[in-house]
Chains A and B, each alone.
Chain A
Amino acid sequence: MAALRQNLTGALRGSCPGARLQWQTLDQQFHALRLGGSSSSSSITAAAAKASTSTSTSRCMSTDAQNDSNSNTSGSQTEFRSIIASPENTLRIATHARPVPLSPSYFSRQPVFNDSYLTLQKLMRSYGNLPVIPAGQVERVAWNTLEDTRQTLGEHVKASDYAKCIELVKRLHAIHPTLKPEAVTAALQAFKRNVQPFSNVPNPIVVDKFGRALGVGRRKASVARAWVVEGTGEVQVNGKNLADAFGRVHDRESAVWPLRATARVDKYNVWALVEGGGTTGQAEALTLAIAKALMAHEPALKPALRRAGCVTRDPRRVERKKHGRVKARKMPTWVKR
């Protein structure tokens, strides 16, 4: 039965080096398809032979390369010649040969997509009963979007079809990783986006053997690195104390804001290096840096810090100047002439 299936798929593809298949006309092949799995390979050939003799209008074609590679090419050729040569044979020989399409989807509108969809369906039939892991624990993967697929395949894939396909993909992806067959992994690979945003995870900040946690924060043009250790509330910025580093009280407050907001001012010491930008940027870069380092010490503080606005990097930058404008937005003074 397995051999039959192999032959069948070989027939579908139009090439199968392993199978002992003679060249066949397309009609014969479709005959074989129609026959399904009931007949053996020999019966196919027999049927083919019978068909070739009986039907005069059958087209006779194949790919030459396939014939060359076949082990018993000579036999088939001789047979072919004999068919041609025999004067009593009244068959009309096809004058135009054309290749057998690799896939029956060839004549559909989205052959490549349909093929892969069929493959997935087959895999689903085979492995659908394998255990899956809960939805929350599935590794997050960015799948190709509909647009991506249309672009890469050059086929107009229907959105509803694609949705069904992706549903299959996700279902297959949810199979327990230890039990997931190679074939599934390989099949899913094609659906993964080239760049995986979810694999781009920041390295977790660790508290080193000296009890330091290094956090990096940025704001405007400033970059701050803050080493946070448990201590008594001393802060040094670029080797200076907080008052020397920031003249404005407001800047000092925003620099130690994560500690203040979580009532940890007297629990930690901070040693920081800041560069770039101005005072406000440096102070608020420090906010982020200290907050990150603090979260390494006490991860439970994250919600509190987020509420205090210390977790998110402020992405705003100076807007670039545009030509025709005085600044980024400002227009030159309007003059009548």
Chain B
Amino acid sequence: MSAPNCLRCLLQLRPSVALPRHLLVARSTAAIAIAWTAPFSTTTANNAKTGGGGSKDKTGGHIRAGKKIKLGKFKKNTTADRGKAPAPGERKAFRKKILLSNNNALPVPGLVDLTPEHMLDPQNAATVLSIPDAVVDQLRAVEAFKPTQCWGVFRKPSMLLRTETIDLMNRMKGAAKQKQTLRLVVTGDRITGKSMLLLQAMTHAFLNDWIVVNIPEGQELTTASTEYAAIPGSDPVRYMQQTYVLKLIQAIRKANEKVLSKLSTVQSHPELPQHIPVGSPLMQLANSAKEADNAWMIFQALWQELTARGRPPMLFALDGLSHIMKVSDYRSPAFELIHAHDLALVRLFVESLGGAGAFPNGGAVLAATSRGNSPRAPSMELALQQREAEQAKAADVPQPDPFFRGYDERVQAALRTVQVLKLSGISKLEARVLMEYWAASGILRTTVDESAVSEKWTLGGNGVVGEMERAALLTMRL
């Protein structure tokens, strides 16, 4: 049974039905005005069209039609307008877009910009500080921000200084002071803040006028998605990745402009196509990389200049270590898979990390492992566990599985002397500071007290930052 009039019609006020005829004329305009403001009606436009009719016939404009037989209802509606297809690369650009500020978020009162000293003082552990705008630009240039980090919900990019951060910064500072190279791998569970620690190290480097070279994703180098070519005259054969290196040079130039503009070349580079005399500014060398063809040569020259004596300390960072600790997806002309360490740029990083190519001016080589979308690298995992056990002076160092054949000697050798920093959850105090920052930004809508903090701390797997964020902010990141 279905009523001929739908409920929506009944909802509308219709005094004209009940009123005597003589009153109708006087009230009709008012009745129309009331009737057309029915709540949540999507058909106001339709009703408005038949508005005159509403006063003419007393049943009103809308009578629900009975069931209609719909023929061919399984036929696809081919005429549906799907809109314009996104241009090539548009979807990817949207996916990779990084928003660093959000004007809808509340500005946090008392938020201080970072200074070089901030990151060294142990008293600043468990504080949230914002990144200065100049450094934000530099960090963006080296692609230190990741699309998976939710910067876009806060007014200003800011970060929590953890005890591990302060510790690492002090170690970096100490190494630079003694003209040594800190070689360190950051490991830890999923979303414990490994990439974030790299970002903090880079921030520290930029604040202290270091030179920063960052490879944002090790994956980009080894998944056979960028151009490669054998380096002529190399034996054993090494492979350069021209396009990527060109991009890297441009990132270095853009991010380190402040430092590079003060420096000039100290060596002549006769092999370069463009003549760069000794004493010309380094920016000129960096700018000479216009095409992919000679990018690797220029990069080598730039690297020589940067690692010459008397330069500022350097930070060489890479995220996603396991991708470069395996056989890459590239193939040699003989159709054999190329080991990642035979790729020249990767080799440069691995040697720096392994201690072969030390920086004479001091600095740091930092690598972070990744837990999302990373291949298994058994040798790397074992080596890192061994280093960790050795650092902790544990009684039993993990030994390789004698029945497993997938170990890689080159990886073992590369990671023989690195230090390992294992990240885990943050402390309750840090959690509290972080949650207060969220609350001050207007994202977290609960009062931050002891119980709320400990609850989120527990829900976040004993203080895993990303998990806490998921539990507290209900962000949908994976």
Smallest CB gap from B192: residue in A: A243
The answer for the CA separation of A232 and B462 in the assembled complex, in Å, is 10
Contact A266 B470 (CB under 8 A): no
B467 within 8 A of A: yes
CB proximity to B under 8 Å, residues A222-273:
232-235, 241-244, 249, 252-253, 256, 259-260, 263, 265-266
> Which residues from A are CB-within-8-Å of B286?
none
> How far in angstroms is the closest Cβ of chain B from A113?
62
A244 / chain B contacts, CB cutoff of 8 Å: 189-190, 461
Residue B460 at the chain A interface, CB threshold 8 Å: yes
Interface residues of B in 215-271 (CB under 8 A from A): none
Contact B470 A249, beta carbon cutoff 8 Å: yes
Contact A243 B460 (CB under 8 A): yes
Q: With A241-B425, A249-B470, A249-B474 in contact, is A263–B461 under 8 Å at CB? A: no
Q: Which chain B residues (402-443) contact chain A, with CB distance < 8 Å?
A: 425, 428
- Do A242 and B451 have beta carbons less than 8 Å apart? no
Q: Counting CB contacts under 8 A, is B106 at the interface?
A: no
A242-B189 contact in complex given A263-B451, A265-B451, A266-B451, C-beta closer than 8 Å:
no
Residue of A nearest to B191 (CB): A243
A233 in contact with B470 (CB, 8 Å): no
B454 adjacent to chain A (CB < 8 Å):
yes
A234 with B458: CB separation less than 8 A? yes
**B453-466 vs A: 1/0 string, CB under 8 Å?**
01101111110100
B464: A residues at CB distance < 8 A: 241, 243
Could you list some 7 contacts between A and B, CB below 8 A?
A232-B454, A234-B458, A235-B462, A241-B464, A242-B458, A242-B460, A256-B459
Given A242-B459, A266-B455, 16 other A-B residues pairs in contact with their CB atoms under 8 A: A233-B457, A233-B458, A235-B458, A241-B189, A243-B190, A243-B460, A243-B467, A244-B189, A244-B461, A252-B461, A252-B471, A256-B459, A265-B451, A265-B458, A266-B454, A266-B457
User: Of B190, B458, B474, which is within 8 A of A256 by CB?
Assistant: B458
Quick one: CB contact mask for B184-217 with A, threshold 8 Å, 1 for yes? 0000011000000000000000000000000000
Least CB separation from B472: chain A residue: A249
B contacts with A: majority SS: helix
A256 and B456 CA atoms in complex are apart in Å by: 11
Contacts of A243 in B (CB 8 A): 190, 459-462, 464, 467
User: Of B450, B451, B462, which is within 8 A of A241 by CB?
Assistant: B462
Residues of B within 8 A of A241 (CB): 189, 425, 461-462, 464
- Taking a contact as CB atoms closer than 8 A, the residue among A252, A263, A266 that contacts B459 in the complex is A252
Q: For residue B456, give the distance in angstroms from its CB to the closest CB of chain A.
A: 9
A248 to B457, CA, bound (A): 15
A304 to chain B, nearest CB (A): 15
* Residue contact A265 to B454, C-beta cutoff 8 Å: yes
A266 & B462 in contact (Cβ 8 Å cutoff)? no
Q: Nearest CB to that of B471 among chain A residues?
A: A249
- B462 in contact with A265 (CB, 8 Å): no
Across-interface contacts of B454 in A (CB, < 8 A): 232-233, 265-266
CA distance A211 to B462 in the complex (A): 21
Q: What residues on B are CB-neighbors of A252 within 8 Å?
A: 459, 461, 471
Residues of B within 8 A of A256 (CB): 455, 458-459
List residues of chain A with CB within 8 A of the CB of B190.
243-244
Number of chain B interface residues as a range: 10 to 19
| Complex alpha-carbon distance, A324 and B147, angstroms | 53
CB of A219 to closest CB in B, whole Å: 19
Considering only CB atoms, which chain A residue lies closest to B461 in the complex?
A: A243
On whether the beta carbons of A242 and B461 are closer than 8 Å, the reply is: yes
**Do B459 and A249 touch (CB < 8 A)?**
yes
Q: Which residue of A lies closest to B460 (CB)?
A: A243
Interface size class of A (residues with CB under 8 A): 10 to 19
Interchain nearest-CB distance for B432 vs A (Å): 12
- Name the residue on A nearest B455 (C-beta): A265
Q: CB-CB < 8 A to A263: which residues of B?
A: 451
Please name all residues of chain A whose beta carbon is closer than 8 Å to the beta carbon of B467 when the two chains form the complex.
243
**When chains A and B are docked, how far (Å) is the Cα of A293 from the Cα of B462?**
20
A233 CA to B454 CA, complexed, in Å: 7
Distance (whole angstroms) from the CB of B177 to the closest CB of chain A: 37
Q: Taking the nearest CB of chain B, how far is it from the CB of A268, in angstroms?
A: 10
B3 to chain A, nearest CB (A): 31
Q: Which residues of B contact A234 (CB under 8 A)?
A: 458, 462
For residue A249, which residue of chain B has the nearest CB? B471
Residues from chain A with a CB closer than 8 A to the CB of B451 are 263, 265-266
A259: nearest chain-B partner, CB-CB: B458
- Residues of chain A within 8 A (CB-CB) of B458 are 233-235, 242, 256, 259, 265-266
Assembled-state Cα–Cα distance A244/B457 (Å): 14
CA distance A96 to B462 in the complex (A): 94
Contacts of B471 in A (CB 8 A): 249, 252-253
Contacts A265-B454, A266-B450 given; indicate if A253 touches B461 (C-beta within 8 A).
no
Report B-chain residues with C-beta under 8 Å of the C-beta of A232.
Answer: 428, 454
Q: Nearest B residue to A270 by beta-carbon distance?
A: B458
**How far is it, in angstroms, between the C-alpha of A242 and the C-alpha of B189 when the chains are bound?**
12
Give the residue among B428, B462, B470 with the most A Cβ atoms within 10 A.
B462
Of B189, B458, B464, which is in contact with the most chain A CB atoms at under 10 Å from its CB?
B458
| 6 closest A-B pairs by CB | A243-B461, A266-B454, A241-B461, A243-B467, A233-B458, A242-B461
Instruction: Return chain A residues, CB-CB under 8 Å to B460.
Output: 242-243
Name the CB-closest residue of B to A242: B461
| Chain B contacts for A233, CB-based, 8 A | 454, 457-458
A232 to B450 CA separation, bound complex (whole angstroms): 12
Q: How far is the CA of A252 from the CA of B457 in the complex (A)?
A: 12
B454 — nearest CB in chain A belongs to which residue? A266
B455 touches A260 (CB 8 A): yes
Q: What's the Cα separation between A244 and B464 when bound, in Å?
A: 10
Return A272 CB to nearest CB of chain B, in Å. Answer: 13
Output the least CB separation between A62 and chain B (Å). 86
In the bound assembly, the distance between CA atoms of A249 and B450 in angstroms comes to: 20
Minimum Cβ distance to chain A for residue B194 (Å): 15
Specify which chain A residues have a CB less than 8 angstroms from the CB of B474 in the assembled complex. 249
Residue of A nearest to B451 (CB): A263
Shortest A240–chain B CB gap in Å is: 8
Cα of A266 to Cα of B432 in the assembled complex, Å: 13
Q: Which of B190, B455, B459: most chain A CB closer than 10 A?
A: B459
The CA of A235 and the CA of B458, in the complex, are separated in Å by: 7
Residues in B with CB closer than 8 Å to A253 are 459, 471
Docked Cα-Cα span, A172 to B281, in Å, equals 110
A259, chain B: closest CB distance, angstroms: 8
User: Cα distance A281–B455 when bound, in Å?
Assistant: 22
Taken together as a complex, chains A and B put the C-alpha atoms of A235 and B467 apart, in Å, by 14
Q: Kindly list chain A residues whose C-beta atoms are within 8 Å of the C-beta of B428.
A: 232, 266
In the complex, which residues of chain A have a beta carbon less than 8 angstroms from the beta carbon of B189?
A: 241, 244
Please, how many angstroms separate the alpha-carbon atoms of A263 and B453 in the complex?
12
